[in-house]
Structure 1
Amino acid sequence: MRGPRPEDFETNPSTPITGQPTPTYPAGARKKGVGVRTWLVLCSRGQAQTTEVGKHAIMRRTGLPARDLRILDPLLSYPSTVLGRERAIVINLEHIKAIITAQEVLLLNSKDPSVAPFIDELQRRILCHYRATKPKEEENYEGETRMSMDQAQGGGDGTPLLFGEQGDEAKKDAKQSLENQDGSKVLPFEFVALEACLEAASSSLESEVRDELEHLLDDDEDMAEMYLTEKLAQKLENSSASSMNESDTVEVDLPEGDEDDRHAPDFLNLLPSTVLI
């Protein structure tokens, strides 16, 4: 009786079959989990959530290419940058590394203690933006829904046309309420987040400059070295005084002919008396 063939058994793909060569993998093959980072996600409602996702998931989520994500890599050194792309804004300012979309903000280094105050302020602004826009939007949506139900129950030949016109008006009113509520213009979500990032980076730079100035003011030697105008005036004064002293001690050299005439009488005294008649 013929026995079962080896291919009839279910084998573990990771376990090599006896008699076959052990599979080898390329040296540069990426291991699972490489590129996964911890992100703090702030939604448009102001709610925060920590998630661990890979680079490709972030690319699909934000529409950013890989070269833009490298700017946020903490292991690489890139200058301060703000990039505007089709679906996202990339922020790399001082200690702030974030991605802003139309509905959420993704922060990369949320565990950094210096970022904690910025996160609190960003969350507060997002929550204020949500409260300023969402209730009015929900009210318009509920009114539009109620109106559509009334039109559906009323019936009639002119109902579809009337419903379409009033629906367009309701949508237009809802859009205007988001842009201008209580006489004040409300910024879009992405600009609220961008404004918070820029102000936080400016505050950080201001703090660094203030600390550096305090350090200079406390060091008398460094402050003395910085008085360039005073040092230049002192140098010019010393140079002028030195020139005047040199002019007082200058010796006037006599011509060679005058010096020979001065020694002429002595030469005549040495001649024999017989020569002088």
Structure 2
Amino acid sequence: MLRKKGSLATWLVLDSEGKRKVVEARKQIIMRRTGLSARDLRVLDPLLSYPSTIVGRESAMLINLDHIKAIITATQVLLLNSTDPSVFPFVNNLHQRILILHRATHQLHPQEDSDEAKQLDDMNILPFEFVALEACLEAACSALENEVEILEQQTYPALDKLTSKISTLNLEHIRLFKIRLVALASRVRRIRDELEHLLDDNENMAELCLTEKLAQQQLENSTTSSMDDMENEVLQPDINSASDGVDVENAGTIYSPETKHSSDVEELETLLGAYFVQIGGTLNKLSRLRESVDDTEDYINIALDEKQNRLLQMGVKLSTSKVLLHAFICVTAIFSMNIHIELFDTGMPQFLATCFGGTAACIFLYVVAISWYKHKGLLVD
């Protein structure tokens, strides 16, 4: 969580040696320390809603990946919400990675003939900012993947239960799961889009190579200092000084920033590509889950439509029977009128024959009507 005192904010700082400390600093101090602008720091504000961001600046990298909010430089990592329980595993993982990197870079002695030295020599050691970025990506992607697995474990049984029994309670459960599914898919898609944006632009990836930019800047400063010394020596008519000047001018060709720059970009592209595939797999799981929910909804709609059709058919049958019953009632009403007719003098057998005959006629007409409905396709079995 972000804790503020006026304009103070609490940051957890991990340096390249694995040392960590908690500091309270104002926004202006963080801006001077990292070279970021106030607009950049606004991206890390938990009170504001910003999309997933991995952006490089002159001397720092800004990370906003779901619950991971950090600033990475070539020598340290600054975490904003380090007291959040969901960030604790990430902090421990990042600390272990930094310690391993520190041992690999400071205990690697080529003259040693030990197996550990040979393994470290063969190992491709990533720059500090790449190690921190990988930890951020792993934490964000793993957290989202765990949420997807939990959602799958809860949603699939609920879908099966709804399929076996359609009820208001089961429908409400699916509705809540679908809301979580849509929100989770949006979070996963934002990270995938940000990684895709980086992979499509080499210039943006080059901005993330902070160690290389720092080394190149130091090289330029060293070259500038050497050239200044050379200009002072050239003023003396000394042949040795002239020959030394040639060496100084050609010294820049010994180190090739372009070659190292290309190598760092390729390593970063490989790193981002791996997590792009992982987050893509997570998004595919959500897509399959969404398809299952949609298929279940289609099945439920079909089942409800089928029930509605049965109710309509029942209404047609009841309406037909009601019409025939009313016709029989009309006949009964005629016989109940206070008018003397010869039928009343025939006796009980004729009266009963008339009643049963009218009933049979109604039943016959009902069967004929239902058969006609089915013939016309108004009713189906």
TM superposition score category, shorter chain reference: 0.5 to 0.7
Letter matched to residue 249 of structure 1: W
More moved, 229-238 vs 33-42: 229-238
Greater Cα shift, 80-89 or 42-51: 80-89
Change in 2 beyond 3 A, CA 1:251/1:203 = closer
- Tell me, yes or no, if structure 1 residue 89 matches structure 2 residue 61: yes
Deviation at 1:218, TM superposition (A): 4.1
Q: Conserved in 1, the CA contact under 8 Å of 2:155 and 2:174?
A: no
Aligned residues: 179
Distance 1:232 1:111 in 2: 47
Match of residue 17 from structure 2: 45
Unaligned runs of 5+ residues in structure 1 are 1-32, 144-179, 253-277
Q: CA deviation at 1:216?
A: 1.6
Quote the Cα distance in structure 2 between the aligned partners of 1:65 and 1:224. Answer: 44
Distance 1:90 1:45 in 2: 21
Residue in 2 that maps onto 1:274: none
Contact 1:42 1:106 in 2 (8 A): yes
Q: Does 1:54 align with 2:177?
A: no
User: How far, CA to CA, are the matches of 2:40 and 2:18 in structure 1?
Assistant: 25
Opposite residue 125 of structure 1, the aligned amino acid is R
Question: Quick one: distance in 2 between partners of 1:192 and 1:210?
Answer: 27
Q: Which has the higher helix share?
A: 2
Q: Which amino acid in 1 is paired with 2:9?
A: R
SS in 2 for 1:82: strand
Offset, 1:123: 0.1
1:123 partner SS: helix
The one of 142, 150, 167 aligned to 1:211: 150
Deviation digits for residues 110-162 of structure 1 (CA, Å, limit 9, x no counterpart): 111111111000000010011111223xx58xx9xxxxxxxxxxxxxxxxxxx
Pair 238,53 (structure 1): closer, same or farther in 2 beyond 3 Å: closer
Overall identity of the aligned pairs, in %: 49
Cα offset, 1:35, TM superposition:
1.9
73-82 or 44-53, which deviates more: 73-82
C-alpha offsets along residues 177-221 of structure 1, whole Å, 9 cap, x if unaligned?
Answer: xxx952221110000000000010011111221222222234323
**CA distance in structure 2 between the aligned counterparts of 1:34 and 1:240, rounded to whole angstroms:** 66
Aligned residue in 1 for 2:372:
249
Alignment pair present for 1:202 and 2:141: yes
Deviation of residue 69 (structure 1)? 0.1
TM-score (norm 1): 0.56
Match of 2:97 among 102, 122, 125: 125
Tell me the CA shift for residue 36 of structure 1: 1.2
For the 8 Å contact 2:63–2:69, the answer to whether it is kept is yes
| Structure 2 residue corresponding to 1:183, chosen from 116, 122, 134 | 122
Matches of 1:192 and 1:76, distance apart in 2: 28
Q: Distance in 2 between matches of 1:52 and 1:251?
A: 82
Q: How many angstroms apart in 2 are the aligned matches of 1:55 and 1:211?
A: 38
Looking at CA atoms only, which structure, 1 or 2, has the larger radius of gyration?
Answer: 1
Tell me by how many angstroms 1:79 deviates: 2.0
- 1:91–1:98 CA contact under 8 A, matched in 2: yes
- Give the Cα separation in 1 of the matches to 2:26 and 2:13: 14
Amino acid in structure 2 at the alignment position of 1:193: A
Contact 1:94/1:204 (8 A) holds in 2: no
Which residue, out of 55, 61, 65, partners 2:37? 65
TM-score by length of 2: 0.41
Query: Which whole-Å CA distance do the structure 2 matches of 1:249 and 1:84 have between them?
Result: 77
SS in structure 2 of the partner of residue 249 of structure 1: helix
Structure 1 residues 71 and 229, CA gap change in structure 2 (3 angstroms) = same
State the alpha-carbon separation in 2 of the partners of residues 47 and 102 from structure 1. 15
Q: 2:88 is matched with which residue?
A: 116
Distance 1:87 1:93 in 2: 20
Once superposed, what is the RMSD of the aligned Cα atoms?
3.3
Gaps of 5+ in 2: 112-118, 162-169, 176-292, 318-368, 376-381
